[in-house]
Amino acid sequence: MRARLAEAGLRATRQRLVILESLLHLPGHPTAEQVHRRVVGQEPSLSLGTVYKALDSFVAAGLTRRVASTEGSCRRYDADCSAHHHLFCTDTQEIIDFHDPQLDTLIQEFFAVRGLQGFQAQSFSLHITGNKLAGDEPRK
Amino acid sequence: MRARLAEAGLRATRQRLVILESLLHLPGHPTAEQVHRRVVGQEPSLSLGTVYKALDSFVAAGLTRRVASTEGSCRRYDADCSAHHHLFCTDTQEIIDFHDPQLDTLIQEFFAVRGLQGFQAQSFSLHITGNKLAGDEPRK
DNA sequence: GTGATTGCAAAATCTTTGCAGGGAC
DNA sequence: GTCCCTGCAAAGATTTTGCAATCAC
């Protein structure tokens, strides 16, 4: 934890440690508000403003990403910076991670052959919209 | 224009006609604010609140979509409801439409074979992050 | 010690709401 | 005529900012 922050060139404050830890444990790509709610349990004086600043610094340092979402009215964060895709559940508003190296390869090969005129692609992320089926957990 | 609104079950007010027309003509998936700026040229008394209400009603009626974006602080709208993908330019923040039926087929076939445990997929949209190359327009 | 980080409160953004008057059908 | 829609202004929600005190290194 402490090492991750050091690698990213960020000072390991008590607050950042708790925030990063919370972000890693909260499911479904939390908002700043959700991170704050979890974090005040351990650090009651930790302010929401600090959560915003810490999350911004994580994103700037490449420790964390912002997740694209269609609800727009609040930002969501993802501690997983590896290449992956997202399942958007229209019922619960959850955003579920979906890793599939075979799919990554398929997409990369497609664009290697076909190319994009006038655009240099850096990364791909597939947004799959649908809904969770009762009783069965989507694979992570 | 008027017919589109009627089909969607919405009353064709002067304001909605101008808003829908603007949305179709503005490039790069505008925000409510951007739509409003264009629209006041034709209808100076048209308020920003009305733009929000109209865009919401378009989305509810399936005439328009909200675009997922990672900047979170404002909503962006897309008048194109057909299946398509998006190029996200990290330099200009533009979101460019990208249609490719072959890619659609590729993705659909991939999931037809493999399936998603516990999730019923309805639609797919690929987010391609990268940057525009100087002097060359990405295909739309 | 030095410079980055925190906490707080105020401000800035973006979006929604309530309601009276007006307009589409 | 009826009910939906608009305009306005106020409220709500989310995010940013400024600055003095504090903490990591």
pLDDT in tens, B59-99: 999 999 999 888 767 899 999 999 999 998 887 777 889 99
Task: Categorize the per-residue pLDDT at B1 as very low, low, confident or very high, splitting at 50, 70 and 90.
Answer: confident
Cβ–Cβ gap A67/B70 under 8 Å = yes
pLDDT at res. B135: 64
Digit-coded pLDDT (tens) for B10-29 = 999 999 999 999 999 998 89
pLDDT at res. A69: 86
**CA A48 – C1' C10 distance (Å)?**
15
Neighbours of B70 (CB within 10 A): 18
Q: Could you give the CA distance from residue B10 to residue B58 in angstroms, rounded to a whole number?
A: 8
Instruction: For chain A, say whether B85 makes contact (Cβ under 8 Å).
Output: no
User: Per this entry, what is the length of chain A?
Assistant: 140
B chain contacts of residue A72, beta-carbon cutoff 8 Å: 66, 69, 72-76
Neighbours of A9 (CB within 10 A): 11
Digit-coded pLDDT (tens) for A81-112 = 999 999 988 877 778 899 999 999 999 999 99
Q: Could you give the CA distance from residue A64 to residue A23 in angstroms, rounded to a whole number?
A: 9
Q: Could you give the CA distance from residue A115 to residue B136 in angstroms, rounded to a whole number?
A: 13
- Predicted TM-score of the model (pTM): 0.87
Percent of chain B predicted with pLDDT > 90: 71
Q: Is the pLDDT of residue A71 over 80?
A: no
**CA B53 – C1' D11 distance (Å)?**
17
User: Partners of A42 in the beta sheet?
Assistant: none
Cβ–Cβ gap B73/A69 under 8 Å = no
Task: Categorize the per-residue pLDDT at B121 as very low, low, confident or very high, splitting at 50, 70 and 90.
Answer: very high
Least confident of A17-31, A50-64, A79-93: A79-93
Cβ–Cβ gap B72/A90 under 8 Å = no
Residue numbers 46-75 of B with CB closer than 7 A to any atom of strand C: 48-49, 52-53, 56, 73-75
CB B85 within 8 A of CB A89: no
Protein-contacted positions of strand D (CB under 7 Å): 4-10, 13-18, 23-25
Element containing residue B61 per DSSP (H, E):
helix B48-61
